[in-house]
Every structure is written in structure tokens, then in C-alpha cells.
Amino acid sequence: MAAADLDRRQADYGDGSVHIHETEPWDRSQSYIPRGNPVVSKLASIGLTLAKNQSFDVVFSFYLEPYAVAGHMVSQALNLPHVVRTAGSDAGRLWKQPQLKPLYDLVFRAAAFVWTGRSTVQQLAAAGMEKDRLRGGAAFAIPEEIFSPEGPALDVAALTQEISDDAEFAPTQMGTFKPGIRYFGIYGKPRENKGLHDLLQALGRLSGSPTDFGLLIMGQMAARERPGFDALVNELGIAGQIVQIPFLPHWRVPEFIRRCVAVCCLERDFPIKIHRPVIAREVMLCGGCLVGSAEIIRKLPSPERLIDGYNCVAIEDVHNHDDLAARLGAILDEPERGAEIGKRARDYALDQQRDWRGAQVLEGILAEACGQKDHSSVKPPGAKMDWGDVLLGALPEEKKQTVQKAVNSAPGTLARIEEIHTGLKALADAGDKASIPIMEAAALDLYIKTAENEFSAKAGTAADDPLFRLEFDGWALRNADIGALVPRQFGAIECYPFEYDATDLLEARARGKLPADLKSGPTNLVILNQSGAEAIRIFVIDDFSAGILKLCAGQFPVSAIAGQLDDHRNPDRNLETGIVEVVESLLATGLIKLGK
């Protein structure tokens, strides 16, 4: 690690600081029978040694082995609260091993809190752990100021020279970097189930390509993987095109991504279903062209917003090496299209983590473990008043009694909100303007409850696949291509007009409180009901977008929509440009598909 990187690991923030204390590398002085590296003992010893000179409030460990086990030992020895964070492979694989599970159960039971994924929360609760000590969700955001398209690309030649001069790291480097050619990249744990061998097979099929290319690997291969890797690259005749470098510090990963024409994340047939690798998100946040297995892409947040050929390159069957080779060859031939995919990928990645509060949630959990006031950890919400009662309470007493006369159904039911909506509509139709926003709030709830009932009834039908909903002659969409394509609604869509801002109404419904001053519209509430989805999806769009959405019926191409929208012309923008922008937005949010 470079001196500048070593310095960067220590940070002082004024009100707090970060200091890293490392275990020593294994040597013969630590040997014992049976042979092993005593990492748990070394980590626990660091904690106990530090406690001699300073006081601690809480122990936090991330990953069961060795960190949570060592953290448990330190917390028990010092009588400190212990907060455990799990990942995918430890909770999904290690915890299931009969030889390890009893100890991990003890670590979980002794912890003040366990912070983990939703499915693991359910498993821990089923195993008997108190639910009030379980915290779920709230992923960490990737630092956007570091993982961005702007910044230097990795100087591989300088790095490999630096590595070759270091006796410890020299064996981890292979190959000679060739400036001026395009490199595909892969990083993390270069293993067969990460798609490495499939990638090599595809590159072997490209070896006769007129465009020179290479493969840049960042990561250290397990000893058992090396012979098979070496044999395969020699058999395929691509050994001279491969450069391998060791892991770099996390903040230098963007340099690696910027160096590559595309970065591959081809994990397939992975045994741990809850595994959610962050690599794909890092690539997209940097504006890189992601070549990902459909298995990985479908595990990303809001997968319905990811589209092959639009903001990623999705490989349905990684074992189909001819298809994978064709996609990689297309990227080499048209790197500018890959760059457009990368730009849209960054938009997606930024939007997904916009409200992620992992650091704040962790701070709240640690404070709560210490007995301090909890400012930010996520707790179950208290019981809310029935939305129908909220709406009735917003009416003057006389009008409330008038509406209530026709309300006979149980609170929270679809029938009851229908009855309330009918009564409110009668007031509005009689000229009571003050009842209109309350009526619209009832209508919004009515539409959503109806869609939820229909969604439940639709369970078991064939799934719509949002990943492959772009059909055209090419591999990557450019904005100039959109006009010739035919838009179609993707799933069952209902669009309801509102006089008031439906976003305000949705927020009021979520809070269980109707504000006195709702913003005026017009707006449109769009409800998308797709088979295969986990729930209905709700959008709010303007009249211009709603008009275009209604015309997305597979009848004519995008370029012909303008002729149908004379009444929707907005003098502040070019109509054709505005239509393309809206169509692209509808595509990106999952409401439509585009085809020939």
C-alpha cells in the first residue's frame, strides 16, 4: 500500500476520529498444532490492550468470523455492549454450519443489537432472539464524491512497477500492461462462480478481433483456483492479454473502473441467495459500463429500473459464451455507446442511494446500545388512526355527520373508504369546494386499496421481465434511436387525474395526517400492477407525461406522438424534445417498454 494510502486510513473529524490497529502477519512464532493463524485471539488481544489506556463505550463488529467472535470476547471481558452487523455470506453460509452455529448463536444472544438484512432478522426472530434487539435494513451509501466519473484512471504501468519492487506483493501480479488498448475489468474474488472462467472463454472467442483488448483483474486468487485458471488461459491463447494486480484500497477502486472500457460482474449459480455484492453499484456510480449477469442485476435495489441495453449490459445466461463474446465485442466496436450506458447507470445509482441513511442508523444503534438517547435508529411506527377517520375528522361537524350516515363498513376496509368517498363526492358535486381536497384524499386511498386487492388476485401469473424490455436492432440504446421505436405500457396501468398535488396526498396518507394547505395540481396518480413484482408501484406525473403515457399503446413510434398532442404543447420547450425526454423517463421508471 502506498504511503499516501497508509496515511489516509487514519482520520480526524474534529468531534471524532478513526484509528486502525492491525494484527501482525503470521509467522512461525505464532505456530501451534493444528496449524492455523490465530486471528480471533490476535484481534481480541488488540481490543484488550487498547482498553488498558483508554475507555470504550461499545464494541461494534462487522461479519461473524473472526470479527464478531473477537468482539464478543472483548465485550464480555470488559462488560461492554456489543453490536453485531452481518453480511450475506456469514449469515447465509457460516451460520448454517453445525460446527459453527452454536458459537454464533451465543454471539447473537449476547449482543445488545444485531443489525442485519430483512431475511436474517426473520430467521433470528424465529430462532428465539428478542425482536427489540434486532435491526434491519438501512444500507450504507457508497461515497459519491469518490465513486464518480471524474478523476484519474489507474496508472497500471506505474502500479505494476511498484508491485514488482515489493517482495511481498510481487507474486500477486501477472502480465504486462499495454498502454493504448482497451481493457475489460473484473475485481473482487476472482473465482469460477464469479463468472471468471466464463469471461475467459468469451475473450478466447474474441482473440481474432481486429480491436486489440485485454483483461485487467484486481484481486488475489485462491491457491486452489490458480492451476485451473493458468491452464485455461494457456489453452485459449490469451495469457498475454491478461494483467492481474492485487487489491487496492477501497478509495482507489474508482481509478480501476475508469481504466476499463467495461467492468464485468458475472456471478452466477451463487449458493447464497441473500448475497448482495456491492461491486455492481460501485461500477454504476462511477459511470462505468456494467456487464452483469442477470442473477446479479436482479439483486440490485429497484431492479425494475434496470434495462439491458439502456443502463446496463445484462447477460441472461453466462454459460452461453458465444453470446457473452458478442456483447463484449460490441462494446469494443462501439465504446461510445457503452459510455452512454454508463451515464444512465450513474443516474440510477445516485437515485437509489439518495435517502440511504446507513451511517446515521448505525450511530443511533450504537448510542442506544450505550444507553444514550436514540436519535436515528429505525423503530417500528406506532399505530396510526384509520385514514377514513382522518378524512372525516377534517370535515365540519355537520358535514361529517352527513357523510357518516352512509358509512357502515369496518375501519381500514376497501368498502369503508368507498362509502366515505361517495359521501364526499356528493358534497363536492353539490358545490362544496372545501370538500374537494378531502374527497381526492379519499379517492387516492380508494384507488390504491383497489389496486392492492387486484395485485393479490394476480399472484401466480407469469412474470413480466423488466430487465429485457428494450427490443431494437442494436445492443445499446442511444437517445437518437428512441424516435423510431414503438412504446407500449409495461404491465396493467391505471392513471387518475387529480386537481391537487398527488405527491402531497401520498405523503399525508403515509403520515396519517391531512395538512390544511395542499398544493394545487393538476397531477396524475399512476398505479402500475405487474405480475412477478413484490407490490404495486405508484408514481405521480404531470398532464403532459400522462398524455404521452396514454398514447404508449403500441400503435405508432415515438416520433409520431407529437401529432397526437397538439393540445398539450408547452411553449417553454420543444415538443419533440419534450416527448423524447418523457418517454425516456417512463422507460427508466418501468412504466413502458420500447420495441420495433
The DSSP secondary structure of 275-307, one letter per residue, reads ---SHHHHHHHTT--EEEEHHHHTTSSSGGG--
* CA atoms of 208 and 138, how far apart (whole Å): 47
Domain around 60: 19-136
Please indicate, yes or no, if residue 570 is contained in any of the structural domains: no
* CA atoms of 497 and 500, how far apart (whole Å): 9
Q: How big is the chain by its Cα radius of gyration, in Å?
A: 28
The model's confidence at residue 269, banded by pLDDT at 50, 70 and 90, is: confident
Among 352, 368, 392, residue at a domain's last position: 352
Number of domains in the chain: 2
Please indicate, yes or no, if residue 64 is contained in any of the structural domains: yes
Contact 169, 150 (CB under 8 A): no
Q: Which amino acid is at 56?
A: F
Q: Are residues 179 and 208 in the same domain?
A: yes
Residue 436 predicted with pLDDT over 50: yes
Among 352, 384, 413, residue at a domain's last position: 352
**What pLDDT does 14 receive?**
80
**What pLDDT does 222 receive?**
79
How would you class 563 by CB atoms within 10 Å of its CB: exposed for 0-12, middle for 13-18, buried for 19 or more? exposed
Q: Are residues 293 and 173 in the same domain?
A: yes
Q: Which three cell numbers stand for residue 474?
A: 442494436
| Distance linking the first and last C-alpha atoms of the chain | 52
Please indicate, yes or no, if residue 346 is contained in any of the structural domains: yes
Pairing state of beta strands 213-218 and 182-187?
A: parallel
Residues 273-278 have a mean pLDDT of 69
Mean pLDDT, the chain, whole residue set: 89
* CB within 8 Å of 103: residues ≥ 6 apart: 69
Residues 150-166 have a mean pLDDT of 91
- DSSP state, residue 65: I
Please indicate, yes or no, if residue 112 is contained in any of the structural domains: yes
pLDDT in tens, 472-519: 989 999 989 999 999 999 988 999 999 999 999 999 999 999 888 889
Q: Are residues 348 and 199 in the same domain?
A: yes
Residues 450-471 have a mean pLDDT of 77
* CA atoms of 425 and 421, how far apart (whole Å): 6
Residue 56 predicted with pLDDT over 60: yes
pLDDT in tens, 169-201: 777 788 899 998 999 999 998 877 789 999 999
Q: Are residues 174 and 94 in the same domain?
A: no
Neighbours of 125 (CB within 10 A): 13
Q: Are residues 165 and 297 in the same domain?
A: yes
pTM of the model: 0.87
Q: Are residues 193 and 332 in the same domain?
A: yes
Q: Are residues 324 and 206 in the same domain?
A: yes
Q: Which three cell numbers stand for residue 588?
A: 427508466
Among 307, 326, 352, residue at a domain's last position: 352
What separation in angstroms does the CA of 85 have from each of 92, 189, 374, 593?
A: 13, 21, 18, 39
* CA atoms of 350 and 357, how far apart (whole Å): 14
The model's confidence at residue 378, banded by pLDDT at 50, 70 and 90, is: very low
Q: Which three cell numbers stand for residue 206?
A: 474474441
* CA atoms of 281 and 272, how far apart (whole Å): 19
Q: Among the residues of 39-110, which ranges form H helices? A: 39-50, 69-78, 89-92, 101-110
Please indicate, yes or no, if residue 256 is contained in any of the structural domains: yes
* CA atoms of 295 and 316, how far apart (whole Å): 8
Please indicate, yes or no, if residue 48 is contained in any of the structural domains: yes
Contact 142, 285 (CB under 8 A): yes
Neighbours of 229 (CB within 10 A): 21
How would you class 29 by CB atoms within 10 Å of its CB: exposed for 0-12, middle for 13-18, buried for 19 or more? exposed
What percent of the chain has pLDDT above 70?
A: 93
- DSSP state, residue 312: B
Q: Are residues 188 and 88 in the same domain?
A: no
Please indicate, yes or no, if residue 433 is contained in any of the structural domains: no
Q: Which amino acid is at 70?
A: A
**What pLDDT does 575 receive?**
83
Question: In the Cβ-directed half-sphere of 157, how many Cα atoms lie within 13 Å?
Answer: 4
CATH (domain of 272): 3.40.50.2000
Q: Are residues 35 and 170 in the same domain?
A: no
Please indicate, yes or no, if residue 320 is contained in any of the structural domains: yes
Q: Are residues 59 and 201 in the same domain?
A: no
Q: Are residues 178 and 282 in the same domain?
A: yes
Contact 540, 524 (CB under 8 A): yes
Q: Are residues 272 and 303 in the same domain?
A: yes
